[in-house]
Amino acid sequence: MNSSESKSLVVIGGGGHASVLVDILRSQQREILAIVSPENISQRRIFSGITHLKNDDDILRFSPDSVNLVNGVGMLPKSGLKRKLNEYFLSLGYTFETVISDSAQVSSFAEIEQGAQVFSGAIIQAGVVIDAHTIINSGVIIEHDCHIGEYNHIAPKATLCGQVTTHSNVYVGANATVIQNITLEQGSIVGAGAIVTKNISSEQICYPSRSVLK
Ligand code: JB2
């Protein structure tokens, strides 16, 4: 166990994404000191027994030396909330925990950067780099030598074939397929179920009905 793993955790957000993270962390016997959400969280049984705090500044009562944070706010296209929260707390000296489900298959020759989240059944092959604060959702396949940028969300069951590169803030929708050697530039969006066979420029959208852009 490294020093990061031994720290207690505070989870930001109390919705669906947070519930999946808390499920993983509970199965790994991690101590969760609080869930911080402005909304009621009592409707989700997975949160029972965990202290509920309503304001983000309540986190300041825990010192950065004693806790790590888990950002449980999900990330849909163009949503900047996750990054905004992370940058605020990183500037105060907090660290975001890297969360990897026990049922994910991560090559020992892959690198997962701090604050990334890898959910159940994901497969991450040799030579892959997942940059910080990126979500690799359930059942995603990231093939060999892909480089996934920071603050991406690769949604459930998406497949990225070998040597795909994504820049920051990229969203790949559920069940999309990106063929090998493609680059998805900053802020680009791949719709659910799309098949991407050409590079996508910054901030452009690949709609599933068209399958490829241009
Ligand atoms: O500023 C905030 C804030 N704004 C919203 N600070 C804190 N601490 N929490 C905030 N929240 C909380 O994030 C809301 O109160 C709510 O608890 C949570 C958002 O939950 P929701 O279920 O709406 O979305 P999500 O982010 O958990 O999940 C989205 O993204 C996932 C990746 C959904 O679209 C999911 O379907 C998706 N799988």
| 135/71 Cα distance (integer angstroms) | 10
Binding residues for acetyl-CoA: 153
For residue 144, give the nearest of 157, 159, 158 by alpha carbon: 159
Residues 51 and 143 in one domain: no
Residues 153 and 188 in one domain: yes
Contact between 49 and 41 under an 8 Å Cβ cutoff? The reply is no
Query: Does some domain include residue 132?
Result: yes
Express each pLDDT in 166-187 by its tens digit. Answer: 999 999 999 999 999 999 999 9
- Kindly compute the dihedral angle of the four CA atoms of residues 13, 7, 104, 180, in this order, to the nearest 10 degrees: 80
Helix %, strand %, coil % of the chain (to 5) = 15, 25, 60
Is the CB of 58 inside a 6 Å radius of any atom of ligand 1? no
Q: From ligand 1's centre to the CA of 122, what distance in Å?
A: 22
Phi, psi (rounded to 5 degrees) for 35: -115, 130
Contact between 133 and 82 under an 8 Å Cβ cutoff? The reply is yes
Phi, psi (rounded to 5 degrees) for 12: -95, 125
Name the residue of 17, 47, 82, 134 to mutate for ligand 1: max ligand atoms within 8 A of Cβ. 17
Per DSSP, 90 falls in state H
CATH of the domain at 109: 2.160.10.10
Q: From ligand 1's centre to the CA of 52, what distance in Å?
A: 15
Residues 57 and 133 in one domain: no
pLDDT of residue 198: 96
| Domain C-terminal end among 97, 120, 142 | 97
Query: Does some domain include residue 212?
Result: no
Which residue segment(s) compose the domain that 165 sits in? 98-202
Query: Does some domain include residue 213?
Result: no
Count: domains in the chain: 2
pLDDT of residue 1: 47
Regions of the chain short of the pLDDT cut 50: 1, 3
pLDDT of residue 77: 79
| Domain C-terminal end among 97, 117, 134 | 97
CATH of the domain at 70: 3.40.50.20
